[in-house]
Amino acid sequence: MLLRRQSPSRPRRRRTATVLATALAVALVPLIAAPAQAAAPVDLGPNTIVFDPSQPIEQIQATVDAIATQQVPAHFGQGRYALLFKPGTYGTPEQPLRFEVGYFTEVAGLGQDPGDVVINGAIEVYNQCLPVPEGADPNCIALVNFWRSLSNLTIQYAAGDADGCRSSANFWAVSQAAPMRRVNVTGANVSLMDYCTAGPQYASGGFIADSTLPFVVSGSQQQFLVRNGSVAGWSNSVWNQVFAGVQGAPATNFSPVVGEPKYTTLDTTPASKEKPYLYVDDAGKYQVFVPAAQKNSAGATWAAGSTPGKSLPLSKFFVAKPGDSASRINTALALGKNVLFTPGVYHVNKTLNVLWPNQVVLGLGLATIIPDNGVVAMQTLDVPGIDIAGIMFDAGTKNSPALLQLGTKLSTLDGKHKKPLLSSANNPTAVQDVFFRIGGEDVGKATQSLVVNTNQTIIDHTWAWRADHGTGVGWDINTAETGVLVNGNDVTATGLFSEHYQKYNVIWNGERGKTIMFQNELPYDAPDQASWQHDGVNGWAAYKVGDKVKVHEGWGMGAYIYTNVNPTLHLSRAYEVPVTPGVKLHNVLTVSLNAAGTIDHVVNDTGDPVTPTFAGPSTVLEWPVP
């Protein structure tokens, strides 16, 4: 999302495997030293700050404020931080703990359940008021509030000395890649829009899961997914608000009328697996909890007791720190260790290989992996139960064929069996809060970002982003064809965000796929139509379902065009799908932003155009059209 948007009426925007693994383990043992076990306290790296309720609140406040001062403006900075709170209560109504969350900052409780850590105060994200020419209108927005997270705690809202407007809600004015998970808020509304600054106050999120929230002000949020939780109420919708398994969610109302609500509500989520998380047990030892997969679920997993799943002691993890080599990390993986990436930036000159069933790769503080020499940053074998979460993959300067690849071509063969041997619906591979960036901080290149070959995979919140602003940005500079390529069968995506790729943003070749909430912006920077077309078709669809697919379903899907380099460009269709009864789309839309670019049709040759003079949205409520 770029720093813009203008609308006269609406805010806008922007698994054999065991043998191989054993052989690799034997071969790689000499590469890693065998140091004695580290003594307590556990070393979670220089950029992890662990708070204890016995600390003076003034000390905690000063620390979180210093991190915020550094990170709130650090859009493309190198800093990565995890602010972790041990079980207990922090702040009081009279002396609350209130602070902002900046870029590349994770705030999380270290209890097993959200009620184990209580913050009296507020944890917030506000608009950024960006510089403008003298005399120009203000540009205070949340459109670029990316790459941060909040999880596993309770906020008992306390205003303290906040001014009148700031005392009205806990503000979480975010855009993409800024998830809220396992959060309970009481004492005030939650506002996903910051209405306390100058305008235009636009926002473009977003993702909330496994949370219980009070009344939520959606405000200017262009699109949002709330999954498996509860809300006391919800106001506003702009283009695409989606709810799955959320108690209290508004009923489906996807009006084709411009300006009227665009809600898509599913009673349950067909397949889900909550993100693993670090916690401290009653004995004071660190564990990683791995939630169990769920089917057809609703509500927060912890609402009626602790979340189902299993705990893994930290001794079963290799705790990686910035500077650790790919060889060292690979040795740990080959030996069957899980990996916990502490906050920082990791350059890898070899592909990281996740080899064993049920291995967990978990990042803290949006730990970032950059592939050097054009390697694939990370790949997995064809085994069930792998979980990769909380990682950002940032493309290197030499083109990588992919950044993260789940499974191999064996998965494609396995998918032809009625009972697959290499994957499991009851123990699926999952990725949660895994993000991809092509350019922005520096030149980046990757043909594809996420490739999913493993059947039964759950994609729970990903943002694949070819940068539209920053450093190393341009049609021939940060090159990337496709954000997400799904070849596996029975894959479910909840919160699928893919933007600005130069060909198809999403290609889905697997059978029986499901997408619940999709958001896309097409590339801004194609210089001319000849550069952005194929086979006599203008542009490349945002979402492509393979021509041979028989069964596929999607709910709440939005694609937007903004071709600011050449506003005359056309896209023939936003969604390109085979015409067959088993391929179904519900509540899909297109929008033209800022009078730049035209989408001629919504699905195939169906749906009205959006143009520089009619921004839309243009909707198709059901495909095939009844």
Q: What is the pLDDT of residue 351?
A: 99
Considering only 2-16, 368-382, 568-582, which range has the smallest mean pLDDT?
2-16
**pTM (2 decimals)?**
0.93
pLDDT > 70 fraction of the chain, expressed in percent and rounded? 92
Cα 196 to chain centroid distance, Å, stands at 26
Domain at 309-623, CATH class: mainly beta
276 band by pLDDT with thresholds 50, 70 and 90:
very high
Per-residue pLDDT of 22-66, as tens digits, reads: 433 433 333 333 343 434 579 999 999 999 999 999 999 999 999
pLDDT, one tens digit per residue, over 396-429 is: 999 999 999 999 988 777 666 666 678 889 999 9
pLDDT in tens, 437-475: 999 999 999 999 999 999 999 999 999 999 999 999 999
Unique residue bearing structure tokens 């004695």: 36
Q: Is the pLDDT of residue 261 over 60?
A: yes
Would residue 152 be called left, alpha or beta, if left means φ above 0 and alpha means ψ between -120 and 50 degrees?
left
Structure confidence at residue 258 (pLDDT)? 82
Q: Decide: 276 and 32 in contact? Cβ < 8 Å.
A: no
User: pLDDT of 464-516, one tens digit each?
Assistant: 999 999 999 999 999 999 999 999 999 999 999 999 999 999 999 999 999 99
Q: Say what the pLDDT of residue 52 is.
A: 97
Give the mean pLDDT of 17-23.
39
Q: What pLDDT does 19 receive?
A: 37
Residues 6+ apart with CB under 8 A from 391: 341, 361, 363, 366, 367, 368, 369, 378, 434, 435
Residue positions annotated with a catalytic role: 521
Give the model's pLDDT for residue 422: 82
> By percentage, how much of the chain surpasses pLDDT 90?
89
Domain layout of the chain by residue ranges: 42-273, 309-623
pLDDT for 236 equals 85
Give the per-residue pLDDT at 587: 98
For position 23, what pLDDT does the model report? 37
Predicted local confidence at residue 518, as pLDDT? 99
Which whole-number Å values give the CA distances from 353 to 239, 276, 376, 398, 586, in the listed order?
A: 40, 19, 10, 20, 38
